[in-house]
Amino acid sequence: MSNIKISINQINTKVGSLHSNTKKIVQKIKEAEKKDCDIVCFPELTITGYPPEDLVLSETFVKNNLFALNKIIDSTDNITAIVGYIDSENDKIFNSAAIISNKKLIASYRKNKLPNYGVFDEKRYFSPGNQIITLNNKDIKIGISICEDIWEDFEVCKLQADLGCNLLININGSPFDKNKKMLREKLLSNVSKDCNAHLVYVNAIGGQDELVFDGSSMVYNFKGEKIISLPSFKEKSEEIQIDLEVNNNSKLKNINQKKFKIIDKNISIKTHKRFTDQKKIIKTSHIEDILNALILGTKDYADKNGFKKCLVSLSGGIDSALVTAIACKAMGNKNVKAVTLPSKYSSSHSISDSEDLCNNLGLELEIIPIKESHKSMLFSLESLFDGTKENNAEENLQARIRGNLIMAISNKFSWLVLSTGNKSEIATGYATLYGDMAGGFSVLKDVPKTMVYELSKFINLKEQIIPENIIIKPPSAELKPDQFDQDTLPDYEILDMIIELYIEKKESFKKIVNNKQIRKTIPESKILEILKMIDRNEYKRRQSPPGIKITPLAFGKDRRYPLASDHKYTYTDYKSS
């Protein structure tokens, strides 16, 4: 039995920030060297940050990433480092893992399986690799892979096991969604058990535009048991020692080796004192993970774009209350500015509830009435609107006045405006373009209304932050007298179920109509109307600010619908049309 000491580093990088990313990598390598580690490993594309998107189409950027790699190579002494970077050869570029030992690049593993679904566009940029790299020292044999290589059929890992690898190291840029952690754990357990090898899974952490990487790095033993887990949504370095037995895997002898080039490299491994094997498992709840994703996504979007303060427009409703609570956790209450902009239709409790929320959070609330502004704008439109009936135009004018005012404040003080719409509203178009949709970042863009309530109640478990009246009162846009959301939309539990089935699970109209729980609540015609609302409001979503991906399928990169389109053939048969 042999022993190895590994430093796992789930670090928060910024896309394109080669200097700061490299500085952080070098620092962590030096720390691992001092702790007598044999291997130090980092997430996927650590040097460039993930995902670098069209930055990789710049030859200069790719060259600079290689210069940064050389600096890391020069800083790596008595240790083996595994660092994600972009490799290039013959006008092709590769998503790669540099394997550095004693100030030399001894090998470069190129990602074999390139994801091209959902938020991933890797085939747009990278060419697939065709190598299998193993690192060897006596009875220790280590296989290196990158993210998607371990998913689906995990062919690369099976081949590494077939070659005798008793340790697999997989570096990742795997973004969070509410189902991902459970899927990962099941997968990693199966891979380690089927390959009869220990598995080190190191993932990135941090917010990058719409994506949040949760870290949650893990180590599994050859029995498929999780023995180490790093925290979610926090930067963390962890040193682990693993006892490894020779892998005499007889299950995997039919893997096609001809399509791969096999590269074996020797590395140095020190002699370590024996240690007591202890499990170190960190557990968090499902709703806590979602809240932490929203907090980190908001914090990093502001920090990485240079915003010191943010601004929220409070309506007295639950969405803006939750956004404000998240903003305070992300940026600190000293850096959160709150305004409320009541109209003649605003209820007294909308103002008092907003004041109570701000008192609970230690914020000052600026009250800017819009009654006179609304009257003035209606007067400007009087001759043009003369002889017409009042409709959404007059109502939405109030939202657009609010949008103008908060963007003016943002413009004046360089504060980031956090818009407050949730996924249920954004899906159905129950939001005003250039009004309440105005802003720089949409915190709840992928959070359904029912989850908004769940998150608000969770926040209140430790301390009453969001006033009870905000949680229990019926939601209303308050753009006309006695207006409530359910005048236009079905109950949010049913609406969110339809959105989940249609958007996230991509189910057909026929299948949704046959859902008994939905049909006993609303008629077929209403279901069809909701699906049409979702599709025809794509033009609004295209003009909305980016927001944090929480569900398996979010609007934006995950779902790319045409604007000018006849959607009816997604609901009706061609023959019957």
Catalytic residue among 41, 147, 165, 195: 147
Distance CA 209, CA 333 (A): 22
* Closest to 95 in 3D by CA, of 123, 63, 126: 126
Contact 213, 14 (CB under 8 A): no
**Which two structure tokens, joined as six digits, stand for 279?**
């499990």
User: Cα angle vertex 459, ends 458, 463, to 5°?
Assistant: 115
Contact 177, 214 (CB under 8 A): no
Number of H helices, E strands in the chain: 19, 20
Catalytic residue among 14, 37, 44, 141: 44
CA 240 to chain centroid, in Å, comes to 27
Catalytic residue among 5, 14, 24, 111: 111
Distance CA 330, CA 294 (A): 9
Rounded (10°) CA dihedral 378, 381, 386, 390: -50
Q: Any catalytic annotation for residue 53?
A: no
* Closest to 167 in 3D by CA, of 40, 279, 4, 33: 4
User: Cα angle vertex 306, ends 448, 96, to 5°?
Assistant: 80
Q: Any catalytic annotation for residue 283?
A: no
Contact 190, 243 (CB under 8 A): no
**Which two structure tokens, joined as six digits, stand for 391?**
């409709």
Q: Any catalytic annotation for residue 44?
A: yes
* 142 backbone dihedrals φ, ψ, rounded to 5°: -115, 130
Paired strand residues for 10: 236
Contact 106, 237 (CB under 8 A): no
Its sign, for the CA torsion 466, 468, 470, 472, is positive
Helix (H, G, I), strand (E, B) or coil at 158: helix
- Would you please indicate which residues are annotated as catalytic (active-site) residues? 44, 111, 147
